[in-house]
Structure 1
Amino acid sequence: MPLQTGQYKNSPFLPARNDRKDDNKLKINCNLAVPDQGFLLKPHSMYLTGFESLLAIINSLTHTECDQVARRFELKSNHKTENRLYLLFSFIQKNVDADDERIFNLWRRKIKNDITVNAYEKAKSQLKQFILETLRFINVPGHDAYLLERLDFANILIARGLFTEAFKILQLTEKDALEFTDPLYACIINYKMIQFLPHVPEKDRPANVHELMHETGNIVGQLKIYHEIFSFNLDVAMFARQTSFIQNKKQQQQINNLLQHPVAALKINTLPYVAKCTLLKSLSWLYRIAGDAGTAHRYQKELVHVFSEKEKYNMQYRPAQYLAEWADLINISIKNNFIADANDVLKKYQDICKQYHITDAHTQLIIYNYNITIQLQANNNVIDKTIVDVQWKIINTAHQQIQTGHLLTFILTVMKGFLAIKEYKKLHDAYILILKSAPAERFDVVFAAELIYTLALYEQSHMNNSLQIVELNNHFVKQAESLYRRMH
């Protein structure tokens, strides 16, 4: 039975569609993802409206994309509306710093028409839609969404009984999948070809048809393994919520049961990149809590190697996610108490950011945050004062631009740093900032900040005079009561 058009858009084997990024040339600024050519919306313009949204989309276009938009306008040059829209597109391109009113006046004078504001708003909406539709037709062979569009096109041909034509499309798509992306895409495409191979006339079948048929079992096996890995990582996540170390024989047996199948999966050469990474993370964590630090360390080293191998591909097609994976790996190393590894991974993270000129405030805060954490853990709360001061300076400068969850983490870490270097005045300022920034439901962060601040007051009372102990006690009791009320 032929599969329906669009089936692969939400396939369990593939990342969500809005995670597929691409750009003909690497372009990274702040912590925004690279523009998405595969579907309609640019991720960083999704939350903007009107002129801002249109401006964000046009500014994110590469030279290739701009050429494609211009070429499509040329094809419709006999339409008056498209000519007007092209003029609007050109004005926004050439006047990137201009505001909405200036663009409106330039456009109105150029077309020599007493156009209304409502007509201008409609033109902006039409131009935005025109650009977004054009992006769908830009073919980039290595792009995930391009492969999926080809799969959808093949499904349309299959549904209409055009098996030979669909088979040729899939053959070309499989070639691109093997050359540019993870083998899983090639597996799915290959399996798809085998599904309707009997419908293809014998003269149009490939010479290696027997190899394709023989490979069917391997493909099905890999897809099954992928499901097993997904299930395994889900089990590990659930187990992680219950314990951080082995407490009894039942938990030891749970770990032994979890480890039966996934270790064998690592021996598959064509195991997809994402599956392999999540599998290695889970194995490292499980062996650590089981008390086998050597094996846990070995899997973590292998994970670093897998990350490094895919650097060029990931920084071109999914830079934001790739950097987040490295940051997560630093965090895992710290939690596993692999301090030397944490330092090595942090250095690699810094090298990647330097190589690709990623210097936004968020990335710098991540680097300093892990620097402080590693130093505190490795040196028994002895830390370089300069690192803490720089982190605090960046937070003060850019705290309004940082997502709240990340900001709270950064402030808590800098509070620990100030406590270690005995900068009580700055610690108090950081404490006030966290109270202002934390939403009502984040009482856990507020409580952590309270504990650090209380320790600071305690240290000060010993350094100055014992009368401050009374103040400390009153303050802590008051905050504990407040926290209790929030929790209940």
Structure 2
Amino acid sequence: MKSTAGESGDLKVVQLFDAIDKMKQYDEELLLKKHKSIRKQQLSNLKARLYHEVLSSLRSLKQQENIDLQLHEQLDFARLLYNKGLYLQSLKILDKIKELAKNNNQVTYILQVVFLEKKIEALHITRSMQDRAEKLSHESVEINERLRLIGALSDLSLQLYSWYIQHGHARNNHDREQLDALMSQNIIEESSKTSGFYEKLYRYQCFCWYGFIIQDFLLYYRYCQKWVDLFHKEPKMMEVETMHYIKGMHNLLSAHFDLRNYQKFEETLEQFEVFAKSDHIQHSQNNLIQTFIYLYTAKLNKHFMEGTFTKGLALVPEIEEKLKHFEIYLDRHRILVFYYKFASLYFGSGDHEKSIDYLNKIINWKVDLRTDLQCYARLLHLIAHYELGNFDLLEYLLKSVYRFMSKMNNLSVVELEIFAFLKQSFRLTPRQLKPHFEKLLSKLRKLSKNKMESRAFMYLDVISWLESKIENKDVQNVIREKYLKSKS
């Protein structure tokens, strides 16, 4: 009877899988209506069994691709042998696990191995070497110290990244003091002489986020390069920690973009594109999604650097299609960044109405992150309406944007100067405008050299916009000429 019931249950799990697989969208009522053999009271248990079976199958399929799964399985074998009283056989497997874990920098697994080794040695006579206890004790202390360091550095890295996601770049001296306080922790000094892979990785990440947030782009670049070089020195770690390598490449590309290292940007982008086509990326949904985000971010940035805005618009439908395809996997922050880049592309190419469409998507999306992006989307939105000559809207928008940025503690001298100019420009004739454009440009060029004021220029190339108004050229042509001049 038990066997029959089991077989019946297995059959229903298969039927449930087939039924769900055929659905475009899960509909429980429709499923029960079409499959009378599956009763409503059984469905919860059947779904739980199916979920377990799917995960088990995925584990078997992906085991050789994932060092965690391999080590976990071997540890399970070692524990099974121990529970059967086969202590020496268990110790042999533990030796192999330890070697594999060391070769792949998997410190947490080494600790688990040492813990089980100590248990065996403490409870059973294995006739192992005389100084076995001392060696295991020393190894345990060393690993625990490494894990403490890795844990503290990864915590700090996460704190800095979280600060950026919430606020963007440092806005004032108060922000700078907060960030300096984070970076003055003892763990930074402790980790300066570390040799472990993960200790170095998280240390480099801390300095990357710090340099990027305070807009010290040379510091940012230096540690982005160290981050990527760490993987190139240990290539096998590119498969073990693929996501960290992808993120490192993204940050290195961003550093080259911020410093206008045109040739290095091209070389790194080409290298990243080759990596994105590798089997390791193509066979992993997670890796595919992340490479899509960062590869297309770099491709858009290339058009911003080179002043080829109109050409870059060809990427927008392609990216939007992929955003829709990966929609359930993407966080709001990534989508907002793409919308802002789309808006900037359309603005630079002279299509201000289309730019406003994307800026409205950001402005109307009620989110509690990237307040900097929310602020500069509103400022670009204001300038786009100015370009369209929507002066009846501008007075209202000026007050609205000013209030929003003030509330978000995001007003700097740069924004105040822009607001003052736009407010005054309503009453000026086209002939009177040019001297005022020139005066504002002169002020902003001076402010661009001040780190606490320069953050605005990362989001809006106001200087190129002003130059375009003075020289009566398209914004993208102004940027293109600067790019070509730097290359000659």
| Common fold: TM-score over 0.5 | yes
1:220 lines up with 2:141 in the alignment: yes
For residues 274 and 105 of structure 2, the distance between their equivalents in structure 1, rounded to whole angstroms, comes to 24
Residues 369, 152 of structure 1: CA spacing in aligned structure 2 closer, same or farther, 3 A cutoff?
same
Checking the alignment, whether the CA contact within 8 Å between 2:224 and 2:251 is kept in structure 1 is: no
Q: Equivalent residue for 1:260?
A: 189
Checking the alignment, whether the CA contact within 8 Å between 1:157 and 1:166 is kept in structure 2 is: yes
Which of the numbers 4, 11, 16 marks the counterpart of 1:87?
A: 11
1:426 lines up with 2:354 in the alignment: yes
Q: Equivalent residue for 2:299?
A: 371
Residues 414, 212 of structure 1: CA spacing in aligned structure 2 closer, same or farther, 3 A cutoff?
farther
Letter paired with 2:40? N
Q: TM-score, normalised by structure 2?
A: 0.60
Q: Equivalent residue for 1:174?
A: 98
> How many aligned residue pairs are there?
386
1:474 lines up with 2:396 in the alignment: yes
Q: Equivalent residue for 1:388?
A: 313
Checking the alignment, whether the CA contact within 8 Å between 1:404 and 1:437 is kept in structure 2 is: no
Q: How does 1:406-425 map to 2 (within 5 A)?
A: 406-425=334-353
Letter paired with 2:189? Q
For residues 374 and 133 of structure 1, the distance between their equivalents in structure 2, rounded to whole angstroms, comes to 41
Q: Equivalent residue for 2:273?
A: 350
Q: How does 1:153-232 map to 2 (within 5 A)?
A: 167-178=91-102, 182=106, 185-186=109-110, 188-190=112-114, 192-194=116-118, 196-203=120-127, 205=128, 210=131, 213-214=134-135, 216-217=137-138, 220-232=141-153
Checking the alignment, whether the CA contact within 8 Å between 2:300 and 2:312 is kept in structure 1 is: yes
Give, in angstroms, the shift of residue 407 of structure 1: 0.9
For residues 374 and 486 of structure 1, the distance between their equivalents in structure 2, rounded to whole angstroms, comes to 31
Give, in angstroms, the shift of residue 414 of structure 1: 1.6
Give, in angstroms, the shift of residue 244 of structure 1: 9.0
For residues 238 and 137 of structure 1, the distance between their equivalents in structure 2, rounded to whole angstroms, comes to 32
Checking the alignment, whether the CA contact within 8 Å between 1:188 and 1:219 is kept in structure 2 is: no
Which of the numbers 195, 203, 214 marks the counterpart of 1:279?
A: 203
Q: Equivalent residue for 1:303?
A: 227
> Structure 1, residues 389-438: CA drift from partner, whole Å, max 9, x if none?
42255337745824322111110112122222222121022123223434
Letter paired with 2:274? D
Letter paired with 1:390? L
Checking the alignment, whether the CA contact within 8 Å between 1:164 and 1:201 is kept in structure 2 is: no
For residues 370 and 224 of structure 2, the distance between their equivalents in structure 1, rounded to whole angstroms, comes to 32
Residues 288, 433 of structure 1: CA spacing in aligned structure 2 closer, same or farther, 3 A cutoff?
closer
For residues 439 and 243 of structure 1, the distance between their equivalents in structure 2, rounded to whole angstroms, comes to 20
Letter paired with 1:170? L
> SS of the counterpart of 2:313?
helix
Residues 342, 210 of structure 1: CA spacing in aligned structure 2 closer, same or farther, 3 A cutoff?
farther
For residues 313 and 347 of structure 2, the distance between their equivalents in structure 1, rounded to whole angstroms, comes to 10
Checking the alignment, whether the CA contact within 8 Å between 1:229 and 1:262 is kept in structure 2 is: no
For residues 295 and 343 of structure 2, the distance between their equivalents in structure 1, rounded to whole angstroms, comes to 16
Q: TM-score, normalised by structure 1?
A: 0.60
Give, in angstroms, the shift of residue 333 of structure 1: 5.2
Which of the numbers 250, 255, 274 marks the counterpart of 1:327?
A: 250
Letter paired with 2:319? I
Q: Which runs of 5+ in 1 are unaligned?
A: 1-76, 109-114, 462-467
For residues 81 and 182 of structure 1, the distance between their equivalents in structure 2, rounded to whole angstroms, comes to 43
Give, in angstroms, the shift of residue 193 of structure 1: 1.9
> SS of the counterpart of 1:261?
helix
For residues 292 and 396 of structure 1, the distance between their equivalents in structure 2, rounded to whole angstroms, comes to 35
For residues 191 and 116 of structure 1, the distance between their equivalents in structure 2, rounded to whole angstroms, comes to 47
Checking the alignment, whether the CA contact within 8 Å between 2:362 and 2:374 is kept in structure 1 is: yes
Checking the alignment, whether the CA contact within 8 Å between 2:256 and 2:264 is kept in structure 1 is: yes
Checking the alignment, whether the CA contact within 8 Å between 1:245 and 1:289 is kept in structure 2 is: no
Checking the alignment, whether the CA contact within 8 Å between 2:375 and 2:404 is kept in structure 1 is: no
> Structure 1, residues 420-461: CA drift from partner, whole Å, max 9, x if none?
222212102212322343437776543221111122233444
Deviates more, 1:339-348 or 1:287-296: 287-296
Say what the alpha-carbon RMSD is for the aligned residues: 5.1
Residues 119, 453 of structure 1: CA spacing in aligned structure 2 closer, same or farther, 3 A cutoff?
closer
> SS of the counterpart of 2:189?
coil
Q: Which is richer in helix? A: 2
> Structure 1, residues 154-195: CA drift from partner, whole Å, max 9, x if none?
679879998656545533533443466635533552365246
1:118 lines up with 2:45 in the alignment: no
Letter paired with 1:435? I
Give, in angstroms, the shift of residue 312 of structure 1: 5.8
> SS of the counterpart of 2:22?
coil
Letter paired with 1:228? L
For residues 52 and 218 of structure 2, the distance between their equivalents in structure 1, rounded to whole angstroms, comes to 57
For residues 84 and 385 of structure 2, the distance between their equivalents in structure 1, rounded to whole angstroms, comes to 76
Checking the alignment, whether the CA contact within 8 Å between 1:245 and 1:290 is kept in structure 2 is: no
For residues 306 and 334 of structure 1, the distance between their equivalents in structure 2, rounded to whole angstroms, comes to 21
1:144 lines up with 2:68 in the alignment: yes
Give, in angstroms, the shift of residue 365 of structure 1: 4.8
Letter paired with 2:148? H
> SS of the counterpart of 2:399?
helix
> SS of the counterpart of 1:346?
helix
Greater RCO, 1 or 2 (C-alpha within 8 Å, sep 6+)? 1
Q: Equivalent residue for 1:52?
A: none
Checking the alignment, whether the CA contact within 8 Å between 1:190 and 1:212 is kept in structure 2 is: no
Checking the alignment, whether the CA contact within 8 Å between 2:17 and 2:50 is kept in structure 1 is: no
